[in-house]
Amino acid sequence: MISPLPSARRAGVPSAPRARGSDPARPGVSVRAVARAIALAPAAISVGLLGAVVQAEAQAPTPVRREIALPFDVRYLPLFAIGMGAIVGVPATVGIGRRSGWRHLAERYPDRSTGCGRSFRSGQIVVRTTLYRMGVRFTMDEAYLHVAMSALARPGHAPLSIPWSDIDASRDEWPWFPFKGEPMVRLTLAAHRDLRILIKVRDAERIVAGSGGRLAVGGRTEGREGS
What CATH number labels 84-220? 2.30.29.30
- pTM for the full predicted model: 0.63
Does an H or E element contain 186, and which?
strand 183-189
How many angstroms separate the CA atoms of 22 and 29, rounded? Answer: 10
How many angstroms separate the CA atoms of 100 and 179, rounded? Answer: 20
pLDDT in tens, the chain (227 residues): 444 544 444 445 455 455 454 454 455 556 676 666 666 566 666 666 666 655 666 665 666 667 677 676 778 778 878 877 778 888 899 999 999 999 999 999 999 999 899 999 999 999 999 999 999 999 999 999 999 999 888 999 999 999 999 999 999 999 998 889 999 999 999 999 999 999 999 999 999 999 999 999 987 755 544 55
Q: Helix count (H) and strand count (E) of the chain?
A: 5, 10
Which sequence spans correspond to the domains of the chain?
Answer: 84-220
